[in-house]
Amino acid sequence: MNTIRTFMLLAAMTALFMGLGYLIGGAGGAAIAFLVAAAMNLFAWWNSDKMVLRMYKAQRVDETVAPNYVRIVKELARRANMPMPATYIVDNPQPNAFATGRNPEHAAVAATTGLIAMLTPEELAGVMAHELAHIRNRDTLTMTVTATIAGAISMLANFALFFGGNRNAGGFIGTLALAILAPMAAALVQMAISRTREYSADAGGAEISGNPLWLASALERMDAAARRAPNETAEANPATAHMFIVNPLNGRGRDNLFSTHPATGNRISALRQLAQAMGEAARRPWG
């Protein structure tokens, strides 16, 4: 269901892009904007792991430095039949984690010092399984495609605002409305896709770890702790917020249109329902 929803949202963004290009009347301009946005996002996708890890001053670790953390990731990768990702630690008190890399063969996972210090081994396994699910699902690619289309829409909107659009599409008022509303609509769809991929990674992580309740427990504790420990780097770079397992910007409340993450309570409820469906299989111990 989440895959179908993601496809439908991507189709909606594509339709919005094509419709905006048609209303502006610049087929050539639309093509140029799309190519430029695609080139920018291709560069970001290819170098995303280096850029983000450097931004958060992540340090690569092995079993001699962080034995429990690295062994958990190694065991989860074995269970998921995936290549072992590079393991990093971010010196930050906020309990959080993210995955990056252009594909499973060039992937990395990072956990904050706050996360490793706070969680039990079972909860840590639930969180890292979620990150491995992101890698397995190639969510980095999905979000890059989404960002490409959103960037192209913004470029077209700016082109229409500064150079004028199709006079038959409502004149100046119509062009102004398009320039303002189209990027907003694209951003809303982009955030909706991000929320959908989080639900999919929750389910995939529960499958990898074997116990949905480990992640449910971790999310509950992480969400409460994240509100008390701001992530200054994420606050300065909000475009990276969607990468983290819980919102590093301390978002709260119901699922809303302007959030990159589903409400934590909704995620926990879904995981508990999944645990009930799995029955005894969801109660096996870690290790």
- Angle, CA 28 vertex, CA 23 and CA 34 arms, to 5°: 85
How far, in Å, CA of 146 to CA of 260, rounded? 13
Residue whose C-alpha is closest to residue 214's, from 91, 85, 72: 72
How far, in Å, CA of 32 to CA of 184, rounded? 21
How far, in Å, CA of 82 to CA of 79, rounded? 8
Give the three-class secondary structure for 110: strand
Residue 183 near residue 37, CB atoms below 8 Å: no
Instruction: Give the strand order in the sheet containing 97-103.
Output: 59-60, 86-90, 106-112, 97-103
Looking at the annotation, which residues are catalytic? 131
Residue 84 near residue 74, CB atoms below 8 Å: yes
- Phi/psi region, residue 170 (left: phi>0; alpha: psi -120 to 50; beta: rest), is left
- Under 8 Å CB-to-CB from 252, ≥6 apart: which residues? 227
How far, in Å, CA of 107 to CA of 48, rounded? 10
Residue type, 171: G
What are the structure tokens assigned to 147, written together? 């960002």
